[in-house]
Chains A and B, each alone.
Chain A
Amino acid sequence: MENWSLVSICVLFGLTARWAVSLNSYSGAGKPPMFGDYEAQRHWQEVTYNLPVHEWYFNTTDNNLNYWGLDYPPLTAYHSLLCAHVAKLINPDWVELHASRGHESYGHKLFMRATVLVADLLIYIPAVVLYSFYLSEGSNKKKVFLCILLYPGLILIDYGHFQYNSISLGLALWGVVVLGLGWDVLGSLAFVLSLNYKQMELYHSLPFFCYLLGKCFKQGLAGRGLFLLVKIAVTVLVTFALCWLPFLSDPGQILQVVHRLFPVGRGLFEDKVANTWCSLNVLIKIKTILSTDTQLYISLTTTLLAILPSSIKLLMKPTLWQFKLALVNSSLAFFLFSFQVHEKSILLPALPVCLLLNDLPLPAIWFLQASTFSMLPLFLKDGLLVPYVVTSLAFLFFSIYLLSALEHCSEDKLRLGPYRRLLICIVRRYGYLSNCINKDHFYFSITAMAGLSFMSVALAPPAQLPDLFPLLVSVFSYLHFLGLLLYFNIVQIAEPPQSVRKNQKKSN
């Protein structure tokens, strides 16, 4: 069958699944006074539509920042404004200043869901198409494409919980795709846009920086490399300036926006996050023992230490393969060690992991499943149990079955060969890591996730430990993330400087 029709069939399938999930409830549905992320997005439409630009990020009589004040970069605000104009056309009540607060109706839900679908269709899905058909190797292109589309985490957060991650992640993916096709300037443009949509994209910024810098180095900083560097730098600066144009007139504005984007005062972590600090908090109450400043420094240092190796390696060897791995390693390290992490931020490492589905099927599927699982408490709170179960099953089934993931777990397939040769003479006993990722462990972990999911739903926690199950979920996922961070780092770093495969890729 022709390619285009298969692609459209896959896209239609993905869209059907998305819309089916979106018929479910959203975060904070019918829960006054604060509601949830759905109301936040609606409120931003109200604010951006009715107030002048310079009041958007300020606490004024018309803009109470304590009630879902705008805390995303300007592109989000512009997007809200655009949506608000459409909403105004359909029903002015939806964006009425003050009066529309907490507005919930059938029609409005449809409208909001439709805006997510449109954004997804325009930005994220085309990027996935381009990635799977131009940048992934082998005969599995369509299967990989379908699996990436079906990743449950993103579907559930965007279409269930309600956010626009497909825009920021989609723009970042556009960056990766365009860079992979060799257009460095456009790639940096796409990434800057994504950074200006959501500041969390900073998790991805270091690999982008290192990749581009490494490329410049490679071309020789004296000649063409310098020219490229200047071109990229100018692009980045101009794009930033354009995005921030309305705020540039007044330094106070810029400071206020930056202050809104990075709320340091909110503490090391919120709720139950599957990262180091939350898990460590079970043993040592770091959140209460240490001062905020110390926490900040510790998290900064550990994050930097964790991303350093992969960044240096990427700088020395800026290939697409290294770039993808570095994206995983950097964003995962940020998620695990940085300050003020949300559970939804796991989507940031999940995006580059999706890109590895073709090369490292088993670890990638494992990670993606664990990432979905780590958000279970959130899904339960939003009433998304059934879609969570069904989409997870669908993803697991399709990815394992179509990508034959379980048949590809030999050491070579897992790209651990070089690591083994490297270590065999130094510390023999650490070689066991390559045995860690295998079928049995995978089954065991999936069963444990299913069991924990079941317990969270069916059992009442003991009275003195009301947070028992969310905590178990997050610690269990944390262990997965930590192990896989180690694994992806090893794969990235142990790759020999010259390999045949990479040369082939370059010639493409």
Chain B
Amino acid sequence: NYKLTINKWYIVLCCGVVLLTMTVFSGYFSHSTDFEVHRNWLAITHSLPVSKWYHENTSEWTLDYPPLFAWFEYSLSHVAQHFDKEMLVVQNLLYTSPATILFQRLSVIVTDIVFIYAVKECCRSVREEKGSKDLLGHPFFILAALLLWNFGLLIVDHIHFQYNGFLFGILLLSVARHLQGRHLEGALLFTVLLNLKHIYLYIAPAYGIFLLRSYCFTEDNTDGSVRWSSFSPVRLVALGSIVISVGALSFGPFIAMGQLPQVLSRLFPFKRGLCHAYWAPNVWALYNMVDKALSVLGVRLKLLDVAKLPKASMTGGLVQEFQHSILPSVSPSITLICTLLSIMVMLSIWCRPRGARGFLRCLVVCALGSFMFGWHVHEKAILMAILPFSILAVESREDAGIFLMLTTTGHYSLFPLLFTAAELPIKVLLMLLFTLYSFTSLKKLFRGSLLNPLETTYLLGLVAVEILCEVVYPLSPWQHTMPFVPLLVTSVYCSLGVCYSFIRLYVSLLRQHGTDKHKQL
């Protein structure tokens, strides 16, 4: 009976979110660039032979996802032709029609089924506290709500337009399989995911180390360190064959056609700058800001000559990339080294594997580390840390605190994605809905406050930032001379919170490591 009620509430959550998204898109006929990106990919995969997919460049939005995603678009295009054939013509740049938009919106909602299933699997593998009576305060329910109603996913997928629900569904399903001890399935799902969207390479180290350590070595010594003699070559071969066969299936045809370099050059364009047009709230946003502040200060104090400074192209509504004037410029290799250093802590699961949960924690560190230090990071990438972190948040009090900090700032940093006045109420309402729920439910779950006064003040500061950036500033005269300030303030303020959460997460991981050692002594 209890299971039945839980299932009932799960259905309520799912249908609620589906209906809400449908209501939202019903009136929503404006479209973002990602709309055109995906329409173009539909057209490319539908009307061109496979050999042309990665060569086609009529539109500036060339196909830059791995082959499995191209096949996914290919299969979608067969449904799309029943809605509107015109959208499948490569030359129809910026083509929109009600049927096209309806199809694209619906395709996101329908492929979300994967996500809904994955969330259910995750919730089933959450540790239950005994004696919880209130259904709505049950970790199962809270986790389901946190994942299904995730603000970031809602706006990025259903308002902005992307297929993240589908992709994160596969990721979460793979995580759930690891939690359930079905490692081969988990590995298979992750490999498929990598071949759908290569951004998940960022978290591949966590997978690699975990599978090697906890799956290929079957036994530990009594102190938890690896017992080298227990290495199982069969398991390694099984893993290897999964990875290679999926890779062959996806990249094989292109290797056969000799197009591999072309495909790779599309997948990894290093022509872009350090930061995206709108700075993702990471270390580099702070770095840029410090550089800017120093140069302004230098000019004021007459230590620097204005004419000699590189021109910062901070015009228009967006903060464009610019040359650092005081601090040394950052090259891709430096970001790579920083990222690798930041995720070194993962090696702790090599010394002391803490099961699938330790792996999950490492996955989050990986995702967040690469977000913090990566090259040309998009603000949307924060979801890669937030969604898996939700699972940890309902299990431990400390994680819940970090989670609240990270999600609230991370979600707020997505606000610039939706910038028209009509979208303002939607994003504010949805954000409030999610934030209010996550705070009250986690607070109830762990019976007590999860944040200290400083953190609370910081989060309340977000309200001030929002009012300043979207209400006060547009009315002020600076709106015309310096339109980029709101975005700058948002990304710098948010990056403080994200950095703080990252440090706290890091410390908690190290501390756990320390206590383990302590116990051992």
Contact = CB atoms under 8 A, between A and B. Distances in A.
Given A1-B440, A390-B22, A393-B19, A117 B433 contact: no
Contacts of A23: 24, 26-28, 422
B467 interface: no
A17 B23 contact: yes
Specify which of A17, A20, A110, A391 lies most central, judged by the most chain B CB atoms within 10 Å of its CB.
Answer: A20
Contact of B426 (A20, A114, A390): A20
A397 B27 contact: no
A24 B27 contact: yes
B256 interface: no
A390 B425 contact: no
Contacts of A21: 23, 26-27
A22 B426 CA distance: 11
A391 B23 contact: yes
Nearest to A384: B26
Interface in A356-397: 386-387, 390-391, 393-394, 397
A107 B420 CA distance: 11
Interface string A97-122: 00000000011001000100100000
A369 to B, nearest CB: 15
A397 B15 contact: yes
Nearest to B98: A386
A500 to B, nearest CB: 30
A9 B24 CA distance: 17
Contacts of A110: 421-422
A1 B145 CA distance: 14
Contacts of B134: 1
Contacts of B429: 12, 15-16, 19
Contacts of B20: 13, 16-17, 20, 394
B27 A12 contact: no
B419 to A, nearest CB: 14
A328 B432 CA distance: 36
B437 A9 contact: yes
A390 B422 contact: no
Contacts of B432: 8, 12
A2 interface: yes
Interface in A388-418: 390-391, 393-394, 397-398, 401-402
Contact of A9 (B11, B27, B433): B433
**B-side binding surface: helix, strand, loop or mixed?**
helix
Interface in A186-228: none
A5 interface: yes
A15 B444 CA distance: 25
B421 A16 contact: no
B318 interface: no
Nearest to A2: B440
A20 B23 contact: yes
Nearest to B15: A397
B19 A390 contact: yes
B436 interface: yes
B441 interface: yes
B47 to A, nearest CB: 29
Interface string A112-150: 001001000000000000000000000000000000000
B136 interface: yes
A391 B444 CA distance: 31
B82 to A, nearest CB: 16
A211 B303 CA distance: 83
Contacts of A107: 421
B27 to A, nearest CB: 3
A386 B26 contact: yes
Nearest to B8: A401
Contacts of B22: 386, 390
B430 interface: yes
Specify which of A22, A23, A386 lies most central, judged by the most chain B CB atoms within 10 Å of its CB.
Answer: A23
Contacts of B503: none
Contact of A12 (B8, B12, B422, B436): B436
B252 interface: no
B23 A402 contact: no
A13 B430 CA distance: 8
B137 interface: yes
A114 to B, nearest CB: 8
Taking residues whose C-beta sits less than 8 angstroms from the other chain, chain A's interface range is: 20 to 34
A23 B425 CA distance: 11
Nearest to B142: A1
A397 B134 CA distance: 23
Contacts of B27: 20-24, 386-387
A9 B327 CA distance: 46
A16 B149 CA distance: 13
Interface string B123-142: 00000000000101100000
B422 A5 contact: no
A350 to B, nearest CB: 20
A114 B429 CA distance: 14
A20 B436 contact: no
Contacts of B137: 1
A390 B433 contact: no
B23 A394 contact: yes
A117 B422 CA distance: 13
A249 B11 CA distance: 62
Interface in B441-466: 441, 444
Interface string A24-67: 10000000000000000000000000000000000000000000
Contacts of B441: 1
Contacts of A117: 425
Nearest to A397: B15
Contact of A402 (B12, B19, B433): B12
A157 B430 CA distance: 23
A23 B22 CA distance: 13
Interface string B423-439: 00110011011001100
A30 to B, nearest CB: 14
Contacts of A1: 134, 136-137, 440-441, 444
A106 to B, nearest CB: 8
A390 B23 contact: yes
Contacts of B422: 23, 106, 110
A23 B424 CA distance: 12
B299 to A, nearest CB: 39
Interface string B16-58: 1001101110111000000000000000000000000000000
A387 B26 contact: yes
A19 B28 CA distance: 11
Nearest to A391: B23
A457 B413 CA distance: 42
A146 B337 CA distance: 52
A434 B24 CA distance: 40
A59 to B, nearest CB: 37
Contact of B26 (A12, A390, A398): A390
B90 to A, nearest CB: 29
A117 B26 CA distance: 18
B430 A16 contact: yes
A9 B425 contact: no
B454 to A, nearest CB: 23
A387 B23 contact: yes
Contacts of A390: 19, 22-23, 26
Contact of B19 (A12, A24, A106, A394): A394
Given A19-B426, A22-B27, A23-B24, 14 more contacts: A1-B441, A5-B440, A12-B436, A13-B16, A16-B23, A20-B27, A21-B26, A24-B27, A106-B422, A110-B421, A387-B27, A390-B23, A394-B15, A394-B20
Pairs A-B, 10 closest by C-beta atoms:
A23-B27, A386-B26, A24-B27, A5-B440, A394-B19, A20-B23, A12-B433, A20-B24, A16-B429, A390-B22
19 contacts: A8-B432, A9-B433, A9-B436, A12-B433, A13-B20, A16-B23, A16-B430, A16-B433, A19-B429, A20-B27, A20-B426, A21-B23, A24-B26, A114-B425, A387-B23, A390-B19, A390-B23, A393-B19, A401-B11
Interface of B: 8, 11-12, 15-16, 19-20, 22-24, 26-28, 134, 136-137, 421-422, 425-426, 429-430, 432-433, 436-437, 440-441, 444
